[in-house]
Structure 1
Amino acid sequence: MASITLGIIGFGEVGGIFGRGLRGKDGVEAVHAWDLKFAGAEGPRAQEAASADSIAPAGSMQSLCAQATLLISAVTASNTLAVAEEAARYLRPGTVFLDLNSASPGTKQRAAAAIESAGGHYVEAGVMTSVPPYGIKVPMLLGGAQAADLARTLNRWGMDAKAVSEKLGVASAIKMSRSIMIKGLEALVIEAYTNARAYGVEDHVLPTLQETFPQIDWSQQGAYFFSRVVQHGKRRAEEMRESANTVKEAGFNPFMASAIAEKQDWVAGLARAGVFEGLSGKSPWQDYADRLLAQRKADQA
């Protein structure tokens, strides 16, 4: 890929990080972006923000695809397939489509079918941890026929990409299996810590966790888990529904993945209602748990 025009689909937190981080890299002539919010009420402000980062806001998906030779899809999990199908209507043959979204192997395979039927080259990515604070250096696993070639390009730009298989779905299976564990730990911590707080036994529970798993600071880790779910619970819930689909595709009933999605969604709903207003990533876990307990009392009143 000698000369590249980069197109970012979804100019949120992740899309913005990749757009800004890849701007000016060797061979990248320009970075364009398209997001539905560009066409909404906040469109002018959102476009100005992109322009301020030297990223050209596109007027539509069609406009973006007309210019891009490498498309990066960074949308929510639930929009993975729809975005790929829309891009397939407009992309130029030979365009590489890198799908960063957290979706099941089956969803990624259907997205690939849409892109490749239009003459594009689909590469799935399993992004293996939160993009901040890694930025474009976040570890990711790539899959697909073009994965190895794209990995070389991305690594030349200072990224951390590893091609794991030419078969689509492998990278996503790794990612989604890991997500069940990580998002499950978040959900378990929120439920266990808040429950312990309700009974006033947290000073007994956390030391036992520390004894069993001494390499983890359970108080600090708990605060981090609470804050991340409060901030990104909706996105995490969508990812866990795709994790549940991944389990279904393997032939199992996704008891745990489905429950984790419900827990993440529940916290996200409370966050939207303002229950955690004023708390930040630096707030102790007890502050988050106390807000949940106060909300329980309010609901019972």
Structure 2
Amino acid sequence: MSTAVPQDTPSSQAQPDGTPQAFRIGLVGYGEVGRILAEDLRAAGVAVSAYDLKLESPSSDADTMRVHAVEFGVELGASATMVATPADLVISAVTASQTLDAARAAAAGLRPGTFVLDVNSASPKAKRDAAQAVHAQGGRYVEGAVMTSVPPYRIRVPLLLGGPHASAVEPLLKQLGFAPTVGSADLGVVSATKMCRSVMIKGLEAMVIESLASARHYGVEDAVLASLKETFPGIDWEKQAAYFFQRVIQHGRRRSEEVREVAETVRDAGLTPWSAEGTAERQAWMADLAEDGVFGQRGDADFGRSPDWRTEADRLLAQIAKPKL
């Protein structure tokens, strides 16, 4: 299945036989989100190349990426610059702290007019700095704010677009299978929307883990859950708690980096980010425990996937009860 390309994209230029050139996506970042996008884009017949910093060092994550690339026909590049050079569209899906570095590296290889879609969870200031780096090299930067968890929706995850090139790239993204909506022509607006939402969502994850792990310690978890159900009857707190534990165990490091960007967003608004900073610390703390093997071995099929949050809370409590050496 081939994907039609709008006439204002670089790949609409015809080959000698009159057919359009093959459309190519360059992914900078090949973690969970990058691999999901790669799978769906490859299923649509789109050529995909990818680069990730973790590919530069031996690790289980790097091994996972290489196996995945072979399975789905993704070409792995040696750098973000090399991946960006032949691309008609570059998608940046890295951790929040790498947003600007990724934009600069990709920009160095861009052809004039190439779109760069930045879906990273970074502050409005970071997005504006990234845009400046891309525009300086003749690229067309578009900030993307992913408005909910990617795995359930995959490529169809709700995506707000921002910046002066948002309207131009929207038809292309729809043809590729995305579900974009133009949020604002001004850079930073959709990222502010994402960041302010994350004060609540990522904060709720941290609060649920802290509340229920403590309740488990005191043996009052059933009473706490019953009270929560009475106050918020529309939420299945057992399932929600299990999901929060799962996501933070699996992705706490990435989440903590995002919430540090959230804190900067709050600080830029003139508020002291007490909640965001506490959330970032709790998420990073969970990431440390996960990396120490408290919740099992990363890469195992059941890692961080316990259907009952109590299993993970008990592991957490057992770890912190150990004597400090």
TM-score (norm 2): 0.87
Q: Deviations over 1:134-155 (max 9, x none)?
A: 1100111000111112122212
Give the aligned partner of residue 212 of structure 1: 231
Please report how far the alpha carbon of residue 48 of structure 1 lies from its aligned counterpart in structure 2 after TM superposition. Answer: 5.0
1:270–1:276 CA contact under 8 A, matched in 2: yes
- Aligned residue for 2:144, secondary structure, equals strand
Conserved in 2, the CA contact under 8 Å of 1:51 and 1:57?
no
CA distance in structure 1 between the aligned counterparts of 2:225 and 2:64, rounded to whole angstroms: 45
Q: Quick one: structure 1 residues 24 and 232, their matched pair in 2 at CA, closer, same or farther if it must change by over 3 Å?
A: closer
Residue in structure 1 matched with residue 157 of structure 2 by the alignment: 138
Counterpart residue number, 2:51:
34
Find the aligned partners of 1:155 and 1:87 in 2 and give their Cα distance: 23
**Residue 183 (1) aligns with residue 202 (2):** yes
Q: TM-score, normalised by structure 1?
A: 0.94
Q: Residues 101 and 93 (structure 1 numbering): CA distance in 2 closer, same or farther, change over 3 Å? A: same
Deviation at 1:158, TM superposition (A): 2.7
Residue 310 of structure 2 corresponds to residue 286 of structure 1: yes
CA distance in 2, matches of 1:193, 1:37: 34
Counterpart-to-counterpart distance in 1, 2:246 and 2:66: 29
Q: How far apart, in 2, do the equivalents of 1:38 and 1:179 lie? A: 29
Distance 1:82 1:212 in 2: 44
Runs of 4 or more consecutive aligned structure 1 residues displaced over 4 Å after TM superposition: 42-45
Cα 1:187–1:121 change in 2 (3 A) is same
1:295 maps to what in 2? 319
What SS class does the counterpart of residue 67 from structure 1 fall into?
coil
The answer as to whether partners of 2:247 and 2:304 remain within 8 angstroms in 1 is no
Find the partner of 1:56 among 59, 64, 75: 75
CA distance 1:299–1:283, shift in 2 (3 Å): farther
- Aligned-residue CA RMSD (Å): 1.8
Displacement of 1:69 in angstroms is 1.6
Matched, 1:245 2:269: no
Identity of aligned residues (%): 50
Residues 249, 208 of structure 1: CA spacing in aligned structure 2 closer, same or farther, 3 A cutoff? same
Q: 1:24 deviation in Å? A: 5.6
Structure 2 counterparts to residues 48-127 of structure 1, below 5 A? 49-127=68-146
Alpha-carbon deviations, 1:38-97, whole Å to 9, x = none?
333356874453133121222322321221121000111110011111112221111110
Contact 2:163–2:187 under 8 Å retained in 1: yes
For 1:141-220, list aligned pairs within 5 A.
Answer: 141-220=160-239
- 1:207-240 Cα distance to aligned partner (Å, 9 max, x none): 1110111110111111111111111100100000
Partner AA of 1:160 in structure 2: A
d(CA) in 1 for partners of 2:63, 2:282:
35
- Deviation, structure 1 residue 300: 5.4
Query: For 1:90-135, what per-residue CA distance to the aligned partner results, in whole angstroms no more than 9, with x for missing partners?
Result: 2111111000100000000000000001110000000011110211
1:225 aligns with 2:244: yes
CA distance in 2, matches of 1:20, 1:226: 26
1:15 lines up with 2:34 in the alignment: yes
* DSSP-derived class of the 1:161 partner: strand
Partners of 2:303 and 2:85 in 1: CA distance? 43
- Stretches of structure 2 lacking an aligned partner (at least 5 in a row): 1-5, 12-22, 297-301
Secondary structure, in 3 states, of the residue corresponding to 1:216? coil
Letter in 2 for 1:295: Q
Does structure 2 conserve the Cα–Cα contact (< 8 Å) formed by 1:234 and 1:265? yes
Partner of 1:94, secondary structure, is coil
Range that drifts further, 276-285 or 226-235: 276-285
The number of residue pairs the alignment matches comes to: 299
1:272, 1:154 → 2: CA distance?
36
